[in-house]
Protein backbone atom coordinates (compact mmCIF):
# COMPACT_ATOMS: atom_id res chain seq x y z
CA UNK A 1 0.00 0.00 0.00
CA UNK A 2 1.37 3.38 -0.92
CA UNK A 3 1.48 6.01 1.77
CA UNK A 4 0.35 9.61 1.83
CA UNK A 5 2.01 12.19 4.05
CA UNK A 6 -0.08 15.15 5.18
CA UNK A 7 1.75 18.25 6.38
CA UNK A 8 -0.71 20.19 8.52
CA UNK A 9 0.06 23.88 8.70
CA UNK A 10 2.18 22.92 5.75
CA UNK A 11 2.22 26.30 4.01
CA UNK A 12 4.79 27.56 6.54
CA UNK A 13 8.52 27.36 5.85
CA UNK A 14 9.02 24.11 7.78
CA UNK A 15 6.07 22.37 6.12
CA UNK A 16 7.05 23.48 2.62
CA UNK A 17 10.64 22.44 3.29
CA UNK A 18 9.65 18.93 4.37
CA UNK A 19 7.15 18.67 1.49
CA UNK A 20 9.87 19.61 -1.01
CA UNK A 21 12.29 17.05 0.38
CA UNK A 22 9.72 14.25 0.46
CA UNK A 23 8.29 15.14 -2.94
CA UNK A 24 11.82 14.89 -4.34
CA UNK A 25 12.08 11.45 -2.76
CA UNK A 26 8.94 10.35 -4.63
CA UNK A 27 6.57 10.41 -1.66
CA UNK A 28 2.91 11.42 -2.06
CA UNK A 29 2.34 14.60 -0.07
CA UNK A 30 -0.75 16.61 0.86
CA UNK A 31 -0.18 20.13 2.12
CA UNK A 32 -2.76 21.09 4.74
CA UNK A 33 -3.77 24.62 5.67
CA UNK A 34 -6.67 26.42 7.31
CA UNK A 35 -7.51 27.62 3.80
CA UNK A 36 -7.59 25.05 1.04
CA UNK A 37 -6.67 27.69 -1.56
CA UNK A 38 -3.41 28.54 0.23
CA UNK A 39 -2.60 24.84 0.51
CA UNK A 40 -3.18 24.36 -3.22
CA UNK A 41 -0.98 27.37 -3.99
CA UNK A 42 1.84 25.89 -1.93
CA UNK A 43 1.40 22.54 -3.69
CA UNK A 44 1.63 24.27 -7.08
CA UNK A 45 4.85 26.01 -6.07
CA UNK A 46 6.36 22.67 -5.06
CA UNK A 47 5.32 21.11 -8.37
CA UNK A 48 7.14 23.90 -10.18
CA UNK A 49 10.32 23.09 -8.29
CA UNK A 50 10.08 19.29 -8.29
CA UNK A 51 9.13 17.88 -11.69
CA UNK A 52 6.50 15.15 -11.39
CA UNK A 53 5.93 15.80 -7.68
CA UNK A 54 2.91 13.99 -6.19
CA UNK A 55 1.72 16.98 -4.19
CA UNK A 56 -1.75 18.34 -3.58
CA UNK A 57 -3.29 20.88 -1.19
CA UNK A 58 -6.32 20.59 1.10
CA UNK A 59 -7.86 22.19 4.14
CA UNK A 60 -6.19 20.69 7.27
CA UNK A 61 -8.95 18.26 8.24
CA UNK A 62 -9.36 16.97 4.68
CA UNK A 63 -5.57 16.61 4.38
CA UNK A 64 -5.54 14.62 7.61
CA UNK A 65 -8.34 12.35 6.40
CA UNK A 66 -6.42 11.63 3.19
CA UNK A 67 -3.19 10.58 4.87
CA UNK A 68 -1.67 7.71 6.82
CA UNK A 69 1.20 9.83 8.08
CA UNK A 70 0.14 13.18 9.53
CA UNK A 71 2.91 15.65 10.29
CA UNK A 72 2.21 18.71 12.45
CA UNK A 73 4.21 21.75 11.30
CA UNK A 74 2.28 24.42 13.12
CA UNK A 75 3.18 27.10 15.67
CA UNK A 76 2.60 25.96 19.25
CA UNK A 77 -0.13 28.59 19.71
CA UNK A 78 -2.41 26.57 17.43
CA UNK A 79 -1.29 23.10 18.57
CA UNK A 80 -4.07 22.02 20.92
CA UNK A 81 -6.83 23.60 18.84
CA UNK A 82 -5.71 21.88 15.63
CA UNK A 83 -5.43 18.51 17.36
CA UNK A 84 -8.99 18.77 18.67
CA UNK A 85 -10.14 19.74 15.19
CA UNK A 86 -8.44 16.89 13.33
CA UNK A 87 -9.03 14.18 15.96
CA UNK A 88 -12.23 12.81 14.35
CA UNK A 89 -10.59 12.77 10.90
CA UNK A 90 -7.54 10.66 11.78
CA UNK A 91 -7.87 7.22 10.21
CA UNK A 92 -7.03 4.03 12.11
CA UNK A 93 -3.41 3.08 11.53
CA UNK A 94 -2.31 6.65 11.00
CA UNK A 95 0.97 7.83 12.52
CA UNK A 96 1.03 11.38 13.85
CA UNK A 97 4.43 13.08 13.74
CA UNK A 98 4.82 16.15 15.92
CA UNK A 99 7.53 18.65 14.96
CA UNK A 100 6.12 21.38 17.20
CA UNK A 101 8.33 23.33 19.60
CA UNK A 102 6.64 25.28 22.40
CA UNK A 103 8.72 28.41 21.83
CA UNK A 104 8.07 31.29 24.18
CA UNK A 105 7.67 33.31 20.97
CA UNK A 106 4.25 31.62 20.64
CA UNK A 107 3.08 33.91 23.42
CA UNK A 108 5.13 36.96 22.55
CA UNK A 109 8.32 35.83 24.31
CA UNK A 110 11.69 34.86 22.90
CA UNK A 111 12.28 32.21 20.25
CA UNK A 112 15.35 31.12 22.20
CA UNK A 113 13.22 30.07 25.20
CA UNK A 114 10.54 27.44 25.60
CA UNK A 115 7.29 27.46 27.51
CA UNK A 116 6.68 24.83 30.14
CA UNK A 117 4.12 22.33 28.88
CA UNK A 118 2.26 20.49 31.63
CA UNK A 119 2.59 17.11 29.92
CA UNK A 120 6.36 17.62 29.53
CA UNK A 121 6.49 18.51 25.84
CA UNK A 122 4.32 19.54 22.91
CA UNK A 123 4.57 15.98 21.59
CA UNK A 124 3.24 14.57 24.86
CA UNK A 125 0.41 17.11 24.79
CA UNK A 126 -0.33 15.81 21.30
CA UNK A 127 -0.43 12.21 22.53
CA UNK A 128 -2.74 13.18 25.39
CA UNK A 129 -5.18 14.93 23.04
CA UNK A 130 -5.40 12.01 20.60
CA UNK A 131 -6.87 8.53 21.13
CA UNK A 132 -4.39 6.15 22.80
CA UNK A 133 -4.22 3.86 19.77
CA UNK A 134 -2.79 6.60 17.52
CA UNK A 135 1.00 6.45 17.68
CA UNK A 136 2.55 9.87 18.18
CA UNK A 137 6.18 10.30 17.15
CA UNK A 138 8.28 13.37 17.95
CA UNK A 139 10.84 14.30 15.28
CA UNK A 140 12.23 17.04 13.00
CA UNK A 141 12.21 19.77 15.66
CA UNK A 142 15.89 20.50 15.15
CA UNK A 143 15.87 20.51 11.36
CA UNK A 144 15.26 24.16 10.58
CA UNK A 145 13.28 25.37 7.59
CA UNK A 146 16.37 26.97 6.03
CA UNK A 147 18.33 23.72 6.19
CA UNK A 148 15.42 22.07 4.39
CA UNK A 149 15.20 24.80 1.76
CA UNK A 150 18.73 24.20 0.47
CA UNK A 151 19.14 21.89 -2.47
CA UNK A 152 22.04 20.00 -0.95
CA UNK A 153 22.29 17.68 2.02
CA UNK A 154 20.71 18.96 5.26
CA UNK A 155 23.49 18.90 7.82
CA UNK A 156 21.44 17.64 10.74
CA UNK A 157 20.55 14.48 12.60
CA UNK A 158 16.86 13.81 13.23
CA UNK A 159 16.30 12.33 16.66
CA UNK A 160 13.07 10.34 16.76
CA UNK A 161 11.18 9.74 20.01
CA UNK A 162 8.02 7.75 20.56
CA UNK A 163 6.40 4.93 22.46
CA UNK A 164 5.48 2.77 19.43
CA UNK A 165 8.54 1.01 18.03
CA UNK A 166 7.04 0.33 14.60
CA UNK A 167 5.86 3.92 14.13
CA UNK A 168 9.28 5.17 15.25
CA UNK A 169 10.91 2.99 12.62
CA UNK A 170 8.57 4.30 9.91
CA UNK A 171 9.42 7.89 10.83
CA UNK A 172 13.15 7.18 10.89
CA UNK A 173 12.79 5.68 7.40
CA UNK A 174 11.01 8.86 6.31
CA UNK A 175 13.68 11.06 7.86
CA UNK A 176 16.55 9.46 5.97
CA UNK A 177 14.78 10.22 2.70
CA UNK A 178 15.98 13.77 3.29
CA UNK A 179 19.50 14.02 1.87
CA UNK A 180 22.10 14.49 4.57
CA UNK A 181 19.83 13.49 7.43
CA UNK A 182 20.73 10.69 9.81
CA UNK A 183 17.88 9.29 11.91
CA UNK A 184 18.57 8.41 15.52
CA UNK A 185 16.45 6.46 18.00
CA UNK A 186 15.89 8.96 20.79
CA UNK A 187 13.87 6.60 22.99
CA UNK A 188 10.43 7.20 24.42
CA UNK A 189 8.11 10.11 23.72
CA UNK A 190 8.89 11.80 27.03
CA UNK A 191 12.34 12.61 25.65
CA UNK A 192 10.68 14.94 23.14
CA UNK A 193 11.05 17.68 25.76
CA UNK A 194 14.81 17.62 25.19
CA UNK A 195 14.48 17.77 21.39
CA UNK A 196 12.12 20.72 21.76
CA UNK A 197 14.54 22.57 24.01
CA UNK A 198 17.46 21.92 21.68
CA UNK A 199 15.57 23.91 19.04
CA UNK A 200 15.49 26.92 21.36
CA UNK A 201 19.26 26.54 21.85
CA UNK A 202 19.83 26.33 18.08
CA UNK A 203 17.67 29.42 17.49
CA UNK A 204 19.80 31.28 20.03
CA UNK A 205 22.95 30.13 18.19
CA UNK A 206 21.42 31.18 14.85
CA UNK A 207 20.85 34.67 16.24
CA UNK A 208 24.24 34.90 17.96
CA UNK A 209 26.29 33.56 15.04
CA UNK A 210 24.05 34.70 12.14
CA UNK A 211 24.00 31.06 11.06
CA UNK A 212 21.69 28.17 10.30
CA UNK A 213 22.68 25.59 12.83
CA UNK A 214 21.76 21.95 13.20
CA UNK A 215 22.87 19.13 15.44
CA UNK A 216 24.92 15.98 14.97
CA UNK A 217 25.40 13.26 17.53
CA UNK A 218 28.98 11.98 17.55
CA UNK A 219 30.10 8.47 18.48
CA UNK A 220 27.36 6.66 16.52
CA UNK A 221 27.72 4.66 13.32
CA UNK A 222 26.89 6.32 10.00
CA UNK A 223 23.62 4.39 9.81
CA UNK A 224 22.55 3.87 13.41
CA UNK B 1 49.85 35.80 36.08
CA UNK B 2 49.68 32.05 35.69
CA UNK B 3 46.38 30.38 36.42
CA UNK B 4 45.48 27.39 38.54
CA UNK B 5 42.49 25.23 37.78
CA UNK B 6 40.85 23.38 40.69
CA UNK B 7 38.65 20.39 39.86
CA UNK B 8 36.37 19.89 42.86
CA UNK B 9 35.12 16.36 43.20
CA UNK B 10 37.95 15.81 40.78
CA UNK B 11 38.70 12.19 41.68
CA UNK B 12 35.66 11.06 39.68
CA UNK B 13 35.95 10.06 36.03
CA UNK B 14 34.91 13.47 34.67
CA UNK B 15 37.30 15.36 36.94
CA UNK B 16 40.23 13.08 36.20
CA UNK B 17 39.46 13.27 32.47
CA UNK B 18 39.48 17.08 32.46
CA UNK B 19 42.59 17.13 34.67
CA UNK B 20 44.41 14.83 32.25
CA UNK B 21 43.51 16.93 29.24
CA UNK B 22 44.47 20.22 30.89
CA UNK B 23 47.65 18.79 32.40
CA UNK B 24 48.65 17.67 28.90
CA UNK B 25 48.03 21.23 27.71
CA UNK B 26 50.48 22.53 30.34
CA UNK B 27 47.89 23.98 32.72
CA UNK B 28 48.41 23.92 36.48
CA UNK B 29 45.73 21.72 38.03
CA UNK B 30 44.65 20.98 41.60
CA UNK B 31 42.44 17.95 42.12
CA UNK B 32 39.98 18.52 44.96
CA UNK B 33 38.25 15.83 46.98
CA UNK B 34 36.56 15.44 50.34
CA UNK B 35 39.69 13.53 51.37
CA UNK B 36 43.02 15.13 50.60
CA UNK B 37 44.70 11.70 50.41
CA UNK B 38 42.40 10.54 47.59
CA UNK B 39 43.00 13.81 45.74
CA UNK B 40 46.77 13.34 46.03
CA UNK B 41 46.46 9.75 44.79
CA UNK B 42 44.55 10.95 41.72
CA UNK B 43 47.18 13.63 41.12
CA UNK B 44 49.94 11.00 41.30
CA UNK B 45 48.13 8.84 38.72
CA UNK B 46 47.89 11.79 36.37
CA UNK B 47 51.59 12.54 36.79
CA UNK B 48 52.36 8.96 35.80
CA UNK B 49 50.40 9.41 32.58
CA UNK B 50 51.46 12.97 31.71
CA UNK B 51 55.19 13.53 32.09
CA UNK B 52 55.95 16.83 33.80
CA UNK B 53 52.28 17.45 34.69
CA UNK B 54 51.68 20.35 37.09
CA UNK B 55 49.11 18.50 39.18
CA UNK B 56 48.55 18.36 42.92
CA UNK B 57 45.77 17.15 45.20
CA UNK B 58 44.01 18.88 48.09
CA UNK B 59 40.85 18.73 50.15
CA UNK B 60 38.07 20.56 48.22
CA UNK B 61 38.12 23.81 50.19
CA UNK B 62 41.91 24.06 50.07
CA UNK B 63 41.85 23.30 46.34
CA UNK B 64 39.31 26.06 45.84
CA UNK B 65 41.39 28.54 47.82
CA UNK B 66 44.44 27.74 45.66
CA UNK B 67 42.74 28.33 42.32
CA UNK B 68 41.48 31.11 40.10
CA UNK B 69 39.36 28.77 38.00
CA UNK B 70 37.20 26.41 40.05
CA UNK B 71 35.47 23.61 38.14
CA UNK B 72 32.67 21.63 39.79
CA UNK B 73 32.73 17.96 38.71
CA UNK B 74 30.48 16.54 41.38
CA UNK B 75 27.24 14.59 41.40
CA UNK B 76 24.18 16.83 41.74
CA UNK B 77 23.35 15.27 45.12
CA UNK B 78 26.35 17.08 46.65
CA UNK B 79 26.05 20.30 44.60
CA UNK B 80 24.42 22.73 47.03
CA UNK B 81 26.31 21.41 50.05
CA UNK B 82 29.70 21.75 48.38
CA UNK B 83 28.92 25.28 47.19
CA UNK B 84 28.01 26.38 50.72
CA UNK B 85 31.22 24.79 51.97
CA UNK B 86 33.56 26.42 49.45
CA UNK B 87 31.85 29.82 49.34
CA UNK B 88 34.11 31.47 51.93
CA UNK B 89 37.23 30.07 50.23
CA UNK B 90 36.61 31.45 46.74
CA UNK B 91 39.09 34.22 45.98
CA UNK B 92 38.03 37.47 44.35
CA UNK B 93 38.41 37.22 40.59
CA UNK B 94 37.83 33.48 40.54
CA UNK B 95 35.67 31.96 37.80
CA UNK B 96 33.44 29.07 38.82
CA UNK B 97 32.70 26.57 36.05
CA UNK B 98 29.74 24.28 36.66
CA UNK B 99 29.67 20.98 34.75
CA UNK B 100 26.96 19.50 36.98
CA UNK B 101 23.89 17.81 35.50
CA UNK B 102 20.87 17.29 37.79
CA UNK B 103 20.33 13.69 36.68
CA UNK B 104 17.39 11.90 38.22
CA UNK B 105 19.98 9.23 39.07
CA UNK B 106 21.16 11.60 41.84
CA UNK B 107 18.01 10.60 43.74
CA UNK B 108 17.77 6.98 42.63
CA UNK B 109 16.03 7.70 39.31
CA UNK B 110 17.25 7.28 35.76
CA UNK B 111 20.42 8.78 34.33
CA UNK B 112 18.49 9.54 31.15
CA UNK B 113 16.14 11.93 32.98
CA UNK B 114 16.77 15.18 34.79
CA UNK B 115 15.34 16.60 37.98
CA UNK B 116 13.58 19.93 37.89
CA UNK B 117 15.76 22.55 39.57
CA UNK B 118 13.85 25.53 40.92
CA UNK B 119 16.35 28.05 39.57
CA UNK B 120 16.14 26.46 36.10
CA UNK B 121 19.42 24.53 36.10
CA UNK B 122 22.20 23.32 38.36
CA UNK B 123 24.38 26.14 37.04
CA UNK B 124 21.79 28.74 38.02
CA UNK B 125 21.51 27.15 41.45
CA UNK B 126 25.29 27.53 41.67
CA UNK B 127 25.08 31.22 40.76
CA UNK B 128 22.36 31.77 43.35
CA UNK B 129 24.42 30.14 46.10
CA UNK B 130 27.57 32.18 45.39
CA UNK B 131 28.18 35.91 45.81
CA UNK B 132 26.94 37.93 42.80
CA UNK B 133 30.42 39.11 41.87
CA UNK B 134 31.67 35.55 41.22
CA UNK B 135 31.11 34.72 37.55
CA UNK B 136 29.52 31.30 37.08
CA UNK B 137 29.97 29.65 33.70
CA UNK B 138 28.14 26.50 32.59
CA UNK B 139 30.13 24.17 30.34
CA UNK B 140 31.44 20.62 29.74
CA UNK B 141 28.15 18.89 30.63
CA UNK B 142 28.02 17.09 27.29
CA UNK B 143 31.65 15.98 27.19
CA UNK B 144 31.48 12.56 28.81
CA UNK B 145 34.25 11.11 30.95
CA UNK B 146 34.94 8.36 28.40
CA UNK B 147 35.44 10.88 25.59
CA UNK B 148 37.95 12.64 27.84
CA UNK B 149 39.76 9.43 28.76
CA UNK B 150 40.76 8.66 25.17
CA UNK B 151 44.12 9.82 24.00
CA UNK B 152 42.82 11.22 20.73
CA UNK B 153 40.57 14.15 19.92
CA UNK B 154 37.33 14.35 21.92
CA UNK B 155 34.57 14.42 19.32
CA UNK B 156 32.36 16.96 21.02
CA UNK B 157 31.52 20.64 21.02
CA UNK B 158 31.53 22.41 24.36
CA UNK B 159 28.72 24.93 24.59
CA UNK B 160 29.53 27.65 27.11
CA UNK B 161 26.80 29.65 28.86
CA UNK B 162 27.17 32.48 31.31
CA UNK B 163 26.32 36.06 32.12
CA UNK B 164 29.89 37.40 32.28
CA UNK B 165 31.35 37.79 28.79
CA UNK B 166 34.97 37.83 29.90
CA UNK B 167 34.60 34.71 32.05
CA UNK B 168 32.80 32.96 29.18
CA UNK B 169 35.73 33.78 26.89
CA UNK B 170 38.23 32.41 29.42
CA UNK B 171 36.27 29.16 29.68
CA UNK B 172 35.98 28.82 25.91
CA UNK B 173 39.76 29.28 25.71
CA UNK B 174 40.16 26.53 28.30
CA UNK B 175 37.78 24.23 26.43
CA UNK B 176 39.68 24.39 23.16
CA UNK B 177 42.82 23.22 24.96
CA UNK B 178 41.15 19.80 24.87
CA UNK B 179 42.02 18.23 21.51
CA UNK B 180 38.99 17.87 19.26
CA UNK B 181 36.81 20.25 21.24
CA UNK B 182 35.20 23.26 19.63
CA UNK B 183 33.89 25.91 22.04
CA UNK B 184 30.59 27.60 21.26
CA UNK B 185 29.00 30.67 22.81
CA UNK B 186 25.70 29.33 24.16
CA UNK B 187 24.48 32.67 25.48
CA UNK B 188 23.36 33.46 29.00
CA UNK B 189 23.51 31.22 32.04
CA UNK B 190 19.80 30.41 31.90
CA UNK B 191 20.51 28.34 28.77
CA UNK B 192 22.48 25.91 30.94
CA UNK B 193 19.19 24.07 31.48
CA UNK B 194 19.31 22.95 27.86
CA UNK B 195 22.95 21.79 28.08
CA UNK B 196 22.08 19.83 31.20
CA UNK B 197 19.14 18.12 29.50
CA UNK B 198 21.22 17.26 26.44
CA UNK B 199 23.41 15.18 28.73
CA UNK B 200 20.39 13.10 29.76
CA UNK B 201 19.59 12.58 26.08
CA UNK B 202 23.19 11.53 25.33
CA UNK B 203 23.19 9.11 28.27
CA UNK B 204 20.01 7.55 26.86
CA UNK B 205 21.71 7.23 23.46
CA UNK B 206 24.81 5.72 25.10
CA UNK B 207 22.61 3.06 26.72
CA UNK B 208 20.51 2.42 23.60
CA UNK B 209 23.42 2.28 21.16
CA UNK B 210 26.13 1.01 23.53
CA UNK B 211 28.15 4.03 22.46
CA UNK B 212 29.93 7.08 23.81
CA UNK B 213 28.08 9.93 22.20
CA UNK B 214 28.81 13.62 22.05
CA UNK B 215 27.29 16.58 20.24
CA UNK B 216 28.34 18.77 17.34
CA UNK B 217 26.57 21.89 16.20
CA UNK B 218 26.48 22.11 12.40
CA UNK B 219 26.40 25.30 10.36
CA UNK B 220 29.07 27.12 12.37
CA UNK B 221 32.64 27.97 11.33
CA UNK B 222 35.46 25.68 12.49
CA UNK B 223 36.56 28.27 15.05
CA UNK B 224 33.37 30.08 16.05
What pLDDT score does A88 carry?
97
pTM of the entire predicted model: 0.96
pLDDT tens for B153-176 read 999 999 999 999 999 999 999 999
* Count of Cβ atoms closer than 10 Å to residue A75 Cβ: 16
Residue A55 β-bridge partners: A29
Sheet holding B28-33, edge to edge: B54-59, B28-33, B4-8, B69-72, B95-98, B136-138, B157-162, B182-185
Decide: A23 and A55 in contact? Cβ < 8 Å. yes
Contact B191, B160 (CB under 8 A): no
Closest Cα in chain A to B212: A219
Average pLDDT, chain B: 96
**Low pLDDT (below 50) residues in chain A:** none
Q: How confident is the model at residue B22 (pLDDT cuts 50, 70, 90)?
A: very high
Q: What is the pLDDT of residue A149?
A: 87
Question: In terms of DSSP H, where are the helices of chain A?
Answer: 13-24, 36-49, 60-65, 79-86, 122-129, 145-149, 165-175, 192-209
Q: What is the pLDDT of residue B151?
A: 84
Q: What is the pLDDT of residues B101-147, one digit of tens each?
A: 999 999 999 999 999 999 999 999 999 999 999 999 999 999 999 99
pLDDT tens digits along B195-217:
999 999 999 999 999 999 999 99
Please count the residue pairs, one from chain A and one from chain B, whose beta carbons lie less than 8 angstroms apart: 96
Q: Which of A191, A197, A209 sits opposite B194 (nearest CB)?
A: A197
What pLDDT shows up at residue A222?
84
Q: Are A217 and A198 in contact (CB under 8 A)?
A: no
pLDDT at B223: 84
**What integer is the mean pLDDT of B216-223?**
93
Q: Under an 8 A CB cutoff, do B219 and A208 touch? A: no
Query: Sorting pLDDT into bands at 50, 70 and 90, what band is B222?
Result: confident
Of A187, A202, A216, nearest to B216 by CB-CB distance is A216
Evaluate if residue B16 carries a pLDDT over 70.
yes
For residues A80 and A162, the answer to whether their CB atoms sit within 8 Å is no
Q: Assess whether pLDDT exceeds 60 at residue B184.
A: yes
Check residue A134 and give its pLDDT: 97
Best A205, A206, A224 member to test B by mutation, with max B CBs in 10 Å, is A205
Beta strand pairing call for B214-218 and A214-218: antiparallel
Partner residue opposite A208 with nearest CB, options B155, B185, B209: B185
Q: How far is B169 from chain A (nearest CA, A)?
A: 15
Q: Which residue of B has its CA nearest to A219?
A: B213
Confidence of residue B9 (pLDDT cuts 50, 70, 90): very high
A4: number of CA atoms within 13 Å, CB side?
Answer: 19
Q: Is B4 helix (H, G, I), strand (E, B) or coil?
A: strand
Average the pLDDT over B143-152 and give the result: 90
- B201 → closest Cβ in A186, A211, A212: A186
pLDDT, residue B87, reads 97
Amino acid sequence: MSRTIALLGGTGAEGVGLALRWAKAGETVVIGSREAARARDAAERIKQIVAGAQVSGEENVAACAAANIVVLTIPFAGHAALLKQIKPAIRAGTIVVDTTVPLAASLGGRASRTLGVWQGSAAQQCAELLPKEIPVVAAFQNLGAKLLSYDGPAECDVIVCGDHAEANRAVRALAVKIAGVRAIDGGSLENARILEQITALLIGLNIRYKAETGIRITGLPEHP
